[in-house]
Structure 1
């Protein structure tokens, strides 16, 4: 046993050396700088920050480089590092209505206060590979000015009492899923926290299922906005709020039909999504799934996968999912030998039973 363990340690050490060599690649090619990853792979950096639950572009870029571009591994690395960090305070709720917008579109109204702002988006590209170097044209001052604060599109519906109103501070104090286990049934604040950390691909699939008729919802993109939001804390030793910086966020509010009932008039309802950095697809998927998970609250029938809390929330975490799948690569020799022995016993028993079964003799007149 000791020899086997020592041999295993040596093999693992050699494997790590090979991993470092494979990760670095051809040493004749310059190594990627973190600034290059941060600036030119910003969408990947945003995803790693979002699902890693840590807003730090430099650390996210480091994780991406260390994981050789494997986003799930990078997310795992960032989460693991996050657990080592002390928590010294809590921020005030972020005020996304005061966002300094760089992109803001609505699929419900053509003309909205402040106008549609396309900003940086792939929506209008031709999806053709650009083999030539991309030239960058600086934005002229005439293109830059935007209103300092743009009103929410959904306020237009709220003014006519056509959409559900959610008062600030009306939600219960949320639990911290990074410190407490997920339990069911989960309230909406907990569900949103889980979805924010959830795997983008999984949530995209769930969101797609709701559009194919598996949740009886017909969504409209009420508003999607991306920009900078101030982060404010109120230290106990000061007793008043101070701004400590700003972060980039993407926010999505979906509008869904609701026929009312139990004293509630017919009105639109909301699905909400929020993502760190530029994460439009994630925020939209999150908003669609959030609305689907509100089926019990809104007394709607629940029969679709995207409406099942336990199914969605338990399987959306990429780190847990990756761990459960990849642990199958580890030695399971004892378990397999037990299964193999059982199978051999059953096969032998079946053979014995077949041999002991009386054979029927066919009889009949012969010509």
Structure 2
């Protein structure tokens, strides 16, 4: 149980003031602005938006500044703010096939229609510190480039033409909303994908890596990884049609996995799927690998005891806000709990010493 700390209000206020001073840092250095974080730390902003379940780069940048760069704390701030917002409606499912791609690659087809678009990526950079960045001068502009013209087809569609990849079943009319309803197990795939999209990138990365090392026997190819903007449309009942209300940046990954077949399904390829806010490709690939590992039951595969196959383990531990809350609560006052355990250990030790002394006295 917790013990109320009386008379600590002044100490807490001073702690907050000290935190604000540490956040500001050396006042001889110009203060970092929200706009600078939004534009120059975009990948951190994207992660906060994805795991905070709120697409707003300005608010995500503000949360990063307020949290002193602690991304999980920033995600917590965004989640908390999100709960205060009214829900005005629901958008149509976004059409990722119509995405204006700035990056689109495939590890399975070299000459895919629409071509390979490398886009802005660290994939081909040398992992050497660039000390020129310390000069804080403007970088030369990149050659003029734009998103790929027009929509480009999903690459896994080519396998569909030959019937070599599993056809996805039609989704639920209205999938459950994880932000409004508690998670119930067993979970449907749409609910699992929601949980993975909000899940901690590092946790999912570790699980995804485990599948590649043999835990779940899940060898995957990246069928396609695409990053770009899609239109968000909302149906307006008064008008009788949908209107575009925004454009958002997404990362989508489809993996292609071997499937030896089962009693009901022929040998074919199957998919893993990841879709995340912003340019967040490591998270999207990890999500796709874990999604595929969790599909063992519906595909009639054997459960191999791997962590990535265990739905309860994955979904109950993926959320970094829940994990942080439970982990960090142990630094709060637990004086009564500890005193009771302390007394218990003292009593057990005293009884053990007494029992040891009695045989010696009898001798």
Normalised by the size of structure 2, how large is the TM-score?
0.94
1:228 corresponds to which residue?
229
CA-based RMSD: 1.6
CA distance in 1, matches of 2:6, 2:354: 45
Matching of residue 49 in structure 1 with residue 83 in structure 2: no
* SS class of match (1:325): helix
Q: Which residue of 2 aligns with 1:136?
A: 139
In structure 2, the gaps of 5 or more residues are none
CA–CA separation in structure 2 for the residues paired with 1:241 and 1:24 = 45
CA distance in 2, matches of 1:221, 1:357: 71
Structure-2 separation of matches of 1:344 and 1:174? 55
Are the counterparts in 2 of residues 96 and 229 from structure 1 also a CA contact under 8 Å?
yes
The equivalent residue for 1:340 is 342
Instruction: Kindly report which structure 2 residues correspond to 1:193-232, keeping only aligned pairs within 5 A, or say none.
Output: 193-232=194-233
Asked whether the equivalents of residues 105 and 225 of structure 1 are also in contact (C-alpha less than 8 Å), the reply is yes
Please point out which of 312, 315, 323 is paired with 1:310. Answer: 312
Local SS of the residue matching 2:39: helix
CA offset digits 1:176-231 (Å, max 9, x no partner): 11111111111111000000000000000000000010011110000000000000
State the TM-score, normalized to the length of structure 1.
Answer: 0.93
Aligned residues: 356
Report matched runs for 1:23-172 at 5 Å.
23-133=23-133, 136-141=139-144, 143-144=145-146, 146-167=148-169, 169-171=170-172
Between the aligned partners of 1:290 and 1:146, the Cα distance in structure 2 is 28
Between the aligned partners of 1:250 and 1:327, the Cα distance in structure 2 is 34
Q: Distance in 1 between matches of 2:7 and 2:31?
A: 33
Paired with 2:284 and 2:244, the residues of 1 have a C-alpha distance of 25
Between 1:306-315 and 1:292-301, the stretch displaced more is 292-301
* Structure 1 segments unaligned to the other structure (5+ residues): 362-367
- Equivalent residue number for residue 322 of structure 2: 320
Q: How far apart in 2 are the matches of 1:244 and 1:260?
A: 44
- The CA distance in 2 between the partners of 1:54 and 1:144, in whole Å, is 26
**1:240 Cα shift?**
1.0
Aligned to 2:32, what secondary structure does the other structure show?
A: coil
Aligned to 2:174: 173
State the shift of 1:359 in Å.
Answer: 8.5
- More moved, 143-152 vs 216-225: 143-152
Tell which structure's C-alpha radius of gyration is larger: 1
CA distance in 1, matches of 2:213, 2:45: 31
| Secondary structure of the structure 2 residue equivalent to 1:39 | helix
Per-residue CA deviation, residues 20-56 of structure 1 (Å, 9 max, x unaligned), is 1111111121111111101100000000000000000
CA contact (8 A) 1:49 1:75 kept: yes
How far is 1:127 from its partner? 1.0
CA deviations over 1:270-292 (Å, ceiling 9, x no partner): 00001100000000000000000
Are 1:89 and 1:235, in contact at CA under 8 Å, matched by a contact in 2?
no
Deviation (angstroms), 1:136: 3.5
1:11 matched to which residue of 2?
11
Match of 1:364 in 2: none
Residues 230 and 247, structure 1, Cα contact 8 Å, conserved in 2: yes
Q: 1:346 to 1:184 in 2, by over 3 A?
A: same
Q: Does 1:258 align with 2:236?
A: no
**What's the counterpart of residue 184 of structure 2?**
183
Tell me the distance in 1 between the aligned counterparts of 2:9 and 2:309. 46
Structure 1: distance between partners of 2:271 and 2:143: 37
CA positional deviation for 1:140: 4.3
